[in-house]
Chains A and B, each alone.
Chain A
Amino acid sequence: MFAGTIVFALINSFILILMAIGFNLTFGISGVANFAYGALYAYMSWTMLNLLHLPFWASAALSIVLTMISGAMMYRFVLLRVRGQALSEVIATFGIGLAILELFRYLGLVGFEYTLPVFWNESFMIAGAYVDIQRIAIVLIGLMLVLGLWLFTHFTSTGLAFRGIAQDERTALTFGIDSDWIATLSVSFGAGLAAIAATIIIPLGSIAPNEGYDVLIKALAICIIGGLGSTGGVIVAGFIVGFAERFTDTYIGSQWTMIVSLAAILLVLAIKPSGLFGQQKELEERI
């Protein structure tokens, strides 16, 4: 049982990391906290495509692209106008997310008929536990995404520009980096990551508007614990929460898992408010 729990904790950790990494990427680069994050996009495009009855791979690709486009549009048409005003940014993104999710709830796009097809319906025996390929795919894709992201930000010019803006927007501007364009890309990439996460995670469950809120809660929780804007933080926090949840589930009781996350958040806030890997940028900004 112990070994099996570890396997599932590992999978759970990757699910959490996948959910949080897009939100974190967007915030880390452009400082936009996208409260319309993740499930919203993912949910939106997926439902659309499910209605179109396209083959799985086509609809997956299309949904990721559409999600990225809608993220970029959200930045261009809404966020750009209120850029730099924290109050307005938060409220605008929150309002958009809310409108989308509740519209879907209203339209009644809920339940199992809108779940995604499972890639392959087979399972393995790992450490005494049955694990289906879907879950293994999550771990593999999670690993690939993290690695890909790292390569992207360290070796491509767009990626380097991302990091430049993240470190010091004004200096980056003097090097001719278009910060609006980068911010658009960052929101769009964040949305894309959410869509990818949704593509591989949703098959495990079903689609419902509450799922959207759940993903947002989980993403925020992971970012708060790990430290906003820090990819390393997201990964570490993903593992901490992922393992803590699974172990409480197995050994204490499933109803306690949410308490563990809440306790983790409150504990981290009390001890190190900026998160485990928070870069303390807040405190060391130039005066």
Chain B
Amino acid sequence: MSLPTALRVEDICKIFGRAVAVDHLSCEVRRGELLGIIGPNGSGKTTLVNLISGFLKPTSGRILYNGQDITRTAPHKIVGMGISRTFQMVRPFYRLPAYKNMIIPLYSPRVRQLAGGRYGDRNAVALDLLEEVGFERDANVAYKPAGTLPQGYLKRLELAKAIALSPDLLILDELFSGMSLAEVASIVPVIEKLRLAGKTIIMIEHRLKELFRIADRIMVLNYGQKIAEGTAAEVMESEAVKNAYLGSEE
């Protein structure tokens, strides 16, 4: 409990026209913690990520990162402060080879600043990072145009792009969906490693089993509201969660 707060969301709302996507939500993420967010489809998880990363501006409420108000900060500045996110719908540069996709985050002011203005070989760094997330070097996958890669690789490319920014807070939006069991198994250690390196991580997942194994804490959303929060076991016991998940199947 002594860990300092990394991210604090205060009473945030996002309304699209008449639809309330995020409804008076408050939550906190502590430094070095891995928070899992789950909830039925359309419960506002991605919208929450978009709000935190600055791609959407909230209708009301505040977001604080390390005590600093980032509610109306531009997305690229938020990345510069150390928050990076992956997209649920992958957004690669389809025409470029996978490793060239990595050049763009590596070119960002944040990375250049962290590198102390030294000029390194970005291509080499890109290939290393890709290997880390499972682009086998001997298979030359990294050289293929992103448009020709299967979904699992695109998801991993998305992760590699986020890691390339050496974020302090990493938000993974449904990273595992679209991946095979084996792929998930190979990515879990990558995430564990990031945690050991002290990164704060928010994971949004529908694959509960894998998530529960690595998450410290789980938050459950439904209709944009927080309906439960706690350890995996606590959350699954909650009546509200059972209703939300089972109720949605009726």
Q: Do chains A and B touch in the complex (CB under 8 A)?
A: yes
Question: Is the pair B89, A284 in contact by a Cβ cutoff of 8 Å?
Answer: no
Q: Which A residues lie within 8 Å of B56 (CB)?
A: 283-284
Q: Give the shortest distance, in Å, between B227 (CB) and chain A (any CB).
A: 24
Bound: A118/B184 CA distance, A: 75
Q: Which B residues lie within 8 Å of A287 (CB)?
A: 46, 50, 55, 87-89
Q: Give the shortest distance, in Å, between A84 (CB) and chain B (any CB).
A: 13
Q: Which A residues lie within 8 Å of B46 (CB)?
A: 287
Q: Give the shortest distance, in Å, between B127 (CB) and chain A (any CB).
A: 28
Q: Mark A251-286, 1 if CB is under 8 A from B, else 0.
A: 000000000000000000000000000000001100
Q: Which A residues lie within 8 Å of B50 (CB)?
A: 287
Question: Is the pair B87, A284 in contact by a Cβ cutoff of 8 Å?
Answer: no
Residue of A nearest to B55 (CB): A287
- How many residues belonging to A are interface residues under a CB distance threshold of 8 Å? 3
Bound: A284/B16 CA distance, A: 9
Bound: A283/B55 CA distance, A: 8
- How many residues belonging to B are interface residues under a CB distance threshold of 8 Å? 8
Bound: A283/B50 CA distance, A: 11
Bound: A283/B75 CA distance, A: 12
Bound: A284/B50 CA distance, A: 10
Bound: A287/B173 CA distance, A: 11
Bound: A287/B46 CA distance, A: 8
Bound: A287/B89 CA distance, A: 7
Q: List A31-62 residues whose CB lies under 8 Å from chain B.
A: none
Q: Which A residues lie within 8 Å of B87 (CB)?
A: 287
Q: Which B residues lie within 8 Å of A283 (CB)?
A: 56
Bound: A48/B237 CA distance, A: 77
Q: Mark B79-106, 1 if CB is under 8 A from A, else 0.
A: 0000000011100000000000000000
Q: Give the shortest distance, in Å, between B95 (CB) and chain A (any CB).
A: 13
Bound: A283/B72 CA distance, A: 14
Q: Give the shortest distance, in Å, between B72 (CB) and chain A (any CB).
A: 13
Residue of A nearest to B14 (CB): A284
Residue of B nearest to A280 (CB): B57
Q: List B37-57 residues whose CB lies under 8 Å from chain A.
A: 46, 50, 55-56
Q: List B18-61 residues whose CB lies under 8 Å from chain A.
A: 46, 50, 55-56
Residue of A nearest to B53 (CB): A287
Bound: A283/B88 CA distance, A: 18
Residue of A nearest to B173 (CB): A287
Q: Which A residues lie within 8 Å of B16 (CB)?
A: 284
Bound: A287/B85 CA distance, A: 12
Bound: A283/B14 CA distance, A: 14
Q: Give the shortest distance, in Å, between A6 (CB) and chain B (any CB).
A: 37
Q: A284-B16, A287-B55 are in contact. List 7 more A-B contacts (CB 8 A).
A: A283-B56, A284-B56, A287-B46, A287-B50, A287-B87, A287-B88, A287-B89
User: What would 5 A/B residue contacts be, using CB atoms closer than 8 Å?
Assistant: A283-B56, A284-B16, A287-B55, A287-B87, A287-B89
User: Across chains A and B, which 9 residue pairs bring their CB atoms closest together, nearest first?
Assistant: A287-B55, A287-B50, A287-B87, A284-B56, A284-B16, A287-B89, A287-B46, A283-B56, A287-B88
